[in-house]
Amino acid sequence: MITPLVLGALAGITVFVGAFSASYLTRSRAELVNSLGAGILLFIALEAASDSQEAVKGLFDELLILSAFVLTLILISGLERHLRISERSLTNSGVIAVALGVHNVGEGFAIASALLAGQLSSALAFTLGFSIHNATEGVAISAPMSKRRLGFLALLSAVAGLPTILGASVYYLGYAGGLEIGVLDAIAFASVLYAFVKIFRDRGVSSWILMGLGFALGTLTELLISYALGNS
């Protein structure tokens, strides 16, 4: 039986696949994957920014979404200063995982909204597209880690991927409003942007070509989702 929770789980679990696949790379290849992950993060940040603006219907909405963006940056910056993780790479991966987790709540919302509208084919198309997209998010989580820590990587993958289930569960409330999704997207934009800047500041980008390919990969998965929905 297809339920919102099952679809949310299928969309989010692929974060584990991408993260663990990327973790078994050599150091030199991991640096290249880091560049790929940076490109993916840049796309996700711009996508979240665009989606947050689609929810704006007036001045109040604009101020609320802007406040969510600014407060998120302040909160993440403050939390990072108080973290006691010895390796900066682990801090980077943690920030990325939390950012993507917030972003993926919105993906669960999208699945729930389609089901509430009675559009099962659209919900399935969303699930397929998000599952592909989230595999690339797993790469972005694993890339900054300088050492293979499978337990910590599993935890971060859960933080990033499982919120799709939480988002999809709003189906049972019978409501998934546009403004709520817009606020989540603003939070996701701030979080992912912060993670992207941290990668640039702490590790740099070893291949601008791969960064561009990462951005293209994120764009391609988004186009596939849009195409599938347009033909559902």
Q: Is the pLDDT of residue 107 over 70?
A: yes
Query: pLDDT tens digits, residue range 144-153?
Result: 675 667 888 8
- pLDDT (0 to 100) of residue 159: 92
Per the structure, how many domains does the chain have?
1
Of 170 and 202, which is predicted with more confidence? 170
Distance between first and last Cα of the chain: 20
- Rounded CA-CA distance 214/232 in Å is 27
Q: Is the pLDDT of residue 139 over 90?
A: no
Region of poorest pLDDT, from 11-20, 133-142, 173-182:
173-182
Which structural domain, as residue segments, surrounds residue 29? 4-230
Alpha helices in 55-119 (DSSP H): 59-82, 88-116
Q: Is the dihedral of CA 101, 95, 128, 2 positive or negative?
A: negative
Q: Give residue 205's region: left, alpha or beta (phi > 0; psi -120 to 50).
A: beta
What mean pLDDT is reported for the chain? 78
pTM: 0.64
- pLDDT (0 to 100) of residue 75: 82
